[in-house]
């Protein structure tokens, strides 16, 4: 079976059947793809899958491209604490501690220990981020912390892969020389892609979009991704570096959302192929012979990473948020496969050790989808906290009240105006800090996510006079609006927007009133100007008399 098309057809057919079955059981499709790979190897006696691995490698390329789309320079600036603060500390400290343990307690040589530490410091973007997005917990405090750390880890993958690449090609050089060479080369390639590539990408996307031919636009995107990947590869780096930088460049353009939606099916299919190739690496004989060792190593890594992340996050967050984030990211991620494969191909790690560690990573990824959905319940049992949401029962008889969603700057001004009008109102916010501020000012406030149906029921929105959404985050605003309108079609929903772009993105929802902040400011400025002119004219008329 040397025909790549035959490999793909077999993998596709089996994965469809397996994932349909697992979907009914509520199990992640990633597990289905891994099982597909294992089934293919043992059912069809495939001794190698080089062609399929090449296709699967481009799954990682497209994953890195979509991650680049998520990491615009503006977003990195707004989340710099979560990304560069928490993320850098987590990866750095985890790598150091795991290296010390691997080198001193397991007697693994220094180079292999560094590679193991770097690989095990990473978490699974594919599993965790997909769950956070589907469950909408990405907008919760713990979801934001976890996302920030994942973004840094994804950025860190690029220098890690480049570093290992230079380790394999410059094995006789010192670590210091390799690091310097790695950094200088990466700066050159990334700088060249940003300076020259940004102009080319912007022009190409503008040209193809103006043609109004979807296939031409899609072809342009594929050309950009593959072209940037091949350029990085020819310069001695990984395909992923080029794809990642291409994603970041497009993230700075107006075509960001269109590209992301167009590329999603390709990314998902190719990423599925990557996990199929992972499943093909499962050595069942080794697993059954070393089951205790594999599970034991997984438990050690799980507990160690959870403790490190909890300790770091607890410095600036409450205990529940810190523990949820730590547990969500305590597994080992899919990029470990790439790291171990690169190290194995470069003969800087023993093949039997790599096979054992790959089984640990696979076991980690199989277990993760089962426990990540139960993190909230687990943390609530471990850490007993007073939940303000449980005190919403008195609202069951409330009617004709105004619900203010969000108590940041605009929310505070809204409550002041409602106070002057004498209108009854309550505040709901998903931030402990904002709720405490409101309570300190003797305002009736509740902690809760207004996009959840149970919270809307408790707020008794069916009998509310109005729901005012004052949040700044567009995604959160949309989730709340969708939930409110789904709960009550006749709800009097007033939403604040800050730009025409936001207004357009909410245009498909049946919102009662959309208040454009800039438009209202312009109207007030003109009204004040007219008022000043009238006052001036009256004063002038009086003086003339």
Q: Hey, what are 233's tokens?
A: 């590869």
Task: For 81-97, write each residue's pLDDT tens digit.
Answer: 888 888 899 999 999 99
* Burial class of 382 by CB neighbour count within 10 A (0 to 12, 13 to 18, 19+): exposed
The 8-class DSSP code of residue 37 comes to H
Burial 110-141 (b: 16+ CB within 10 A, else e): eebbbbbbbbbbbbbbbbbbbbbeeebbbbbb
Report yes or no: 204 and 255 within 8 Å, Cβ to Cβ: no
Residue 396, pLDDT > 60, answer yes
User: In 3D, which of 123, 190, 127 has the Cα closest to residue 154?
Assistant: 123
- Band of the pLDDT at 433, cuts 50, 70, 90? confident
The 8-class DSSP code of residue 389 comes to G
The helix (run of H) or strand (run of E) holding residue 468 is strand 466-469
Strand order in the sheet with 513-516: 445-447, 425-429, 402-405, 466-469, 493-497, 513-516
* Average model confidence (pLDDT) across the chain: 80
Per-residue model confidence (pLDDT) at position 51: 61
Per-residue model confidence (pLDDT) at position 52: 60
> Average pLDDT of 361-369?
86
Task: For 105-138, write each residue's pLDDT tens digit.
Answer: 988 998 899 999 999 999 988 788 778 876 767 7
User: In 3D, which of 97, 88, 244, 114 has the Cα closest to residue 178?
Assistant: 114
User: In 3D, which of 409, 452, 444 has the Cα closest to residue 427?
Assistant: 444
| Cα distance between residue 391 and residue 388, in whole Å | 5
> Average pLDDT of 255-283?
74
Residue 390, pLDDT > 50, answer no
Task: For 324-353, write each residue's pLDDT tens digit.
Answer: 999 999 999 878 887 888 888 778 888 889
Per-residue model confidence (pLDDT) at position 199: 77
Residue 45, pLDDT > 70, answer no
C-alpha distances in Å from residue 448, one per residue of 250, 378, 391, 415, 427: 35, 19, 11, 18, 10
Q: Hey, what are 494's tokens?
A: 């007033």
Ranked by mean pLDDT, the top range of 147-156, 187-196, 203-212, 378-387 is 147-156
- Can you give the three-state secondary structure of 154-201, one letter per residue? HHHHHHHHHHHHHHHHCCCCCHHHHHHHHHHHHHHHHHHHHHHHHHHH
Q: Which residue has the higher pLDDT, 159 or 111?
A: 111
| Cα distance between residue 463 and residue 446, in whole Å | 18
| Cα distance between residue 117 and residue 138, in whole Å | 27
| Cα distance between residue 208 and residue 211, in whole Å | 5
Q: Which residue has the higher pLDDT, 295 or 36?
A: 295
- Band of the pLDDT at 4, cuts 50, 70, 90? low
Task: For 200-256, write each residue's pLDDT tens digit.
Answer: 787 788 788 777 777 788 888 888 888 888 887 777 666 777 787 888 888 777 777
Report yes or no: 509 and 485 within 8 Å, Cβ to Cβ: yes
Domains and CATH numbers, the chain: 4-382 (1.20.1530.20), 388-530 (3.40.50.720)
For the chain, how many residues are written? 545
Residue 385, pLDDT > 60, answer no
Per-residue model confidence (pLDDT) at position 389: 44
> Average pLDDT of 137-156?
81
- Can you give the three-state secondary structure of 261-318, one letter per residue? HHHHHHHHHHHHHHHHHHHCCCCHHHHHHCHHHHHHHHHHHHHHHHHHHHHHHHCCCC
147: CB partners within 8 A, 6+ apart:
79, 82, 129, 132, 138
Is the pTM here over 0.85, yes or no?
no
Q: Which residue has the higher pLDDT, 266 or 471?
A: 471
Residue 387, pLDDT > 50, answer no
Residue 419, pLDDT > 60, answer yes
Task: For 62-81, write each residue's pLDDT tens digit.
Answer: 777 777 777 666 666 667 78
User: In 3D, which of 392, 402, 386 has the Cα closest to residue 467?
Assistant: 402
Q: How many other CB atoms sit within 10 Å of the CB of residue 242?
A: 31
- Band of the pLDDT at 386, cuts 50, 70, 90? very low
- Band of the pLDDT at 317, cuts 50, 70, 90? confident
Any idea which residue has 């190739």 for tokens? 277
Residue 408, pLDDT > 70, answer yes
Residue 539, pLDDT > 60, answer no
Helix (H, G, I), strand (E, B) or coil at 112: helix
Q: Which residue has the higher pLDDT, 263 or 533?
A: 263
C-alpha distances in Å from residue 377, one per residue of 9, 131, 320, 380, 432: 41, 16, 11, 5, 19
| Cα distance between residue 363 and residue 301, in whole Å | 12
| Cα distance between residue 476 and residue 453, in whole Å | 14
Q: Hey, what are 253's tokens?
A: 């353009």
- Can you give the three-state secondary structure of 481-544, one letter per residue? HHHHHHHCCCCCEEEEECCHHHHHHCCCCCCCEEEEHHHHHHHHHHHHHHHHHHHHHHHHHHHH
Per-residue model confidence (pLDDT) at position 46: 59
C-alpha distances in Å from residue 95, one per residue of 121, 281, 305, 359, 406: 6, 25, 10, 20, 39
Residue 316, pLDDT > 70, answer yes
| Cα distance between residue 154 and residue 140, in whole Å | 21
Per-residue model confidence (pLDDT) at position 113: 92
């Amino acid at each position: 079976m040397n025909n790549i098309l035959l490999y793909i057809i077999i993998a596709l057919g089996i994965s469809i059947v397996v994932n349909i079955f697992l979907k009914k059981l509520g199990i992640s499709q990633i597990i289905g793809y891994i099982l597909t790979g294992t089934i293919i190897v043992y059912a069809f006696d495939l001794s190698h899958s080089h062609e399929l691995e090449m296709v699967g490698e481009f799954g990682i390329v497209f994953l890195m491209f979509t991650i680049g789309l998520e990491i615009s320079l503006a977003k990195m600036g707004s989340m710099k604490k979560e990304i560069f603060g928490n993320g850098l500390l987590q990866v750095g400290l985890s790598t150091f501690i795991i290296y010390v343990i691997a080198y001193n307690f397991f007697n693994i040589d220094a180079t292999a220990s560094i590679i193991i530490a770097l690989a095990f410091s990473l978490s699974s973007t594919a599993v965790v981020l997909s769950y956070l997005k589907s469950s909408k917990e990405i907008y919760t405090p713990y979801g934001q912390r976890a996302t920030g750390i994942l973004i840094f880890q994804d950025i860190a993958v690029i220098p890690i892969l480049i570093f290992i690449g230079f380790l394999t090609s410059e094995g006789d050089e010192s670590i210091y020389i390799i690091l310097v060479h790695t950094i200088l080369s990466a700066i050159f390639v990334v700088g060249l892609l940003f300076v020259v590539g940004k102009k080319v990408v912007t022009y190409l996307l503008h040209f193809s979009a103006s043609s109004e031919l979807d296939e031409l636009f899609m072809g342009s995107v594929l050309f950009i991704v593959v072209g940037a990947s091949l350029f990085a590869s020819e310069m001695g780096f990984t395909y992923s570096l080029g794809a990642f930088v291409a994603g970041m460049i497009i993230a700075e353009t107006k075509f960001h959302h269109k590209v992301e939606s167009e590329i999603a099916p390709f990314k998902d299919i190719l990423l599925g192929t990557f996990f199929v190739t992972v499943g093909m690496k499962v050595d069942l004989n080794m697993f059954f012979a070393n089951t205790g060792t594999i599970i034991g190593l997984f438990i050690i890594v799980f507990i160690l990473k959870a403790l490190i992340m909890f300790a770091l996050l607890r410095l600036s967050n409450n205990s529940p948020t810190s523990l949820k984030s730590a547990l969500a990211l305590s597994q080992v991620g899919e990029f470990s496969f790439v790291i171990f494969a690169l190290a194995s191909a470069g003969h800087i790690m023993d093949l039997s050790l790599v096979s054992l560690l790959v089984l640990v990573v696979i076991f980690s990824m199989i277990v993760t989808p089962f426990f990540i959905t139960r993190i909230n319940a687990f943390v609530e049992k471990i850490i007993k906290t007073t939940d303000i949401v449980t005190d919403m029962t008195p609202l069951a008889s409330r009617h004709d009240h105004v619900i203010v969603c969000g108590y940041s700057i605009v929310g505070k001004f809204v409550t002041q105006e409602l106070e002057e009008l004498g209108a009854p109102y309550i505040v709901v916010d998903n931030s402990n800090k904002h709720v405490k501020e409101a309570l300190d000012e003797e305002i009736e406030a509740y902690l809760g996510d207004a996009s959840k149906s149970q919270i809307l029921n408790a707020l008794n929105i069916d009998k509310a006079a109005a729901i005012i959404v004052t949040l700044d985050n567009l995604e959160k605003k949309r989730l709340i609006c969708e939930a409110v309108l789904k709960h009550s079609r006749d709800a009097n929903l007033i939403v604040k927007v800050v730009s025409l772009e936001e207004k357009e993105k909410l245009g498909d929802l049946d919102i009662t009133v959309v208040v454009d902040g800039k438009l209202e400011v312009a109207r007030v400025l003109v009204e004040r100007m007219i008022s000043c002119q009238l006052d001036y004219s009256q004063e002038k008329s009086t003086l003339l008399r």
